[in-house]
Amino acid sequence: MDRFAFWADFFNANEVRTVTEIGVWRGEFAERILSSCPSIERYYLVDPWRHLPDWNKPFNKGDDEFEDVLAEARRRVSPFASRCVFLRGRTTEVELPEVDFTYVDGDHTLRGISIDLIRAWPKTKWLGGDDFGPIWQHGAKFEPSMVNPFAAHFAEAVGASFQIFGNQYLMGRDDAFAYDGDTRLLPHIRSRCRWERLFGY
Ligand SMILES: C[S@@+](CC[C@H](N)C(=O)[O-])C[C@H]1O[C@@H](n2cnc3c(N)ncnc32)[C@H](O)[C@@H]1O
């Protein structure tokens, strides 16, 4: 599944006007969405773009590399600069704006996804995110990713609808996306999951 095309279709179908992206890296998602979605008037890019001493994940590079990463993100979205607002900092360090949609793709550890969903949900109409998949996403040397199952449990706790599309998830405040109660991974994700081989689920 092409996540860029999937979300672009969603934004265009729902005439989404304001978006926050948490975890931007080199700005590839932002570039693809902004170039495909003319209805988006304001796009907030949230990322510390610095080394974090307490984040054991492969994207946690050195400060020098992060300066290059930020420069690339700025270059990628430069054709849409008038619609972009850069918020440099962790989710806990910036004031998240009220938006139609928030895309969560930052710190996927249990600490990170908890903070991001709890902070972002009150500020957004819909919330979606990346990597609803196996917890050992980056192998045993790194902290596990807990987007799956935390996002599903969070949606249930706040009474949001919840759906998964491949490794993307979506929660909302309306009935358009009924929660079907099935938070198992879709087959093509399950087949990549080490736990399946270990425990046969
Ligand atoms: C997987 S990359 C994002 C990829 C991007 N969304 C895309 O699709 O092109 C993860 C990013 O999350 C950022 N990040 C890590 N911890 C964060 C936090 N607490 N708040 C916001 N961003 C964070 C990292 O700096 C990194 O750039």
- Taking only the tens place, the pLDDT of each residue in 94-137 is 999 999 999 999 999 999 999 999 999 999 999 999 999 999 99
Homologous superfamily (CATH) for 3-199: Vaccinia Virus protein VP39 (3.40.50.150)
Residue spans of the domains in the chain: they are: 3-199
**Averaged pLDDT, 19-27:** 98
pLDDT of residue 116: 98
Query: Does an H or E element contain 65, and which?
Result: helix 63-77
pLDDT digits (tens, 9 = 90+) for 51-70: 999 999 999 999 999 999 99
pLDDT digits (tens, 9 = 90+) for 66-97: 999 999 999 999 999 999 999 999 999 999 99
Q: 86 C-alpha to center of ligand 1: Å?
A: 13
22 lines ligand 1 (CB under 6 A): yes
As a whole-number percent, the residues of the chain with pLDDT over 70 amount to 86
Whether the bond into 38 is cis, omega within 30 of 0: no
Ligand 1 pocket check: which of 47, 90, 146 to mutate, most ligand atoms within 8 Å of Cβ? Answer: 47
7 lines ligand 1 (CB under 6 A): no
133 lines ligand 1 (CB under 6 A): no
DSSP annotation of 172 reads E
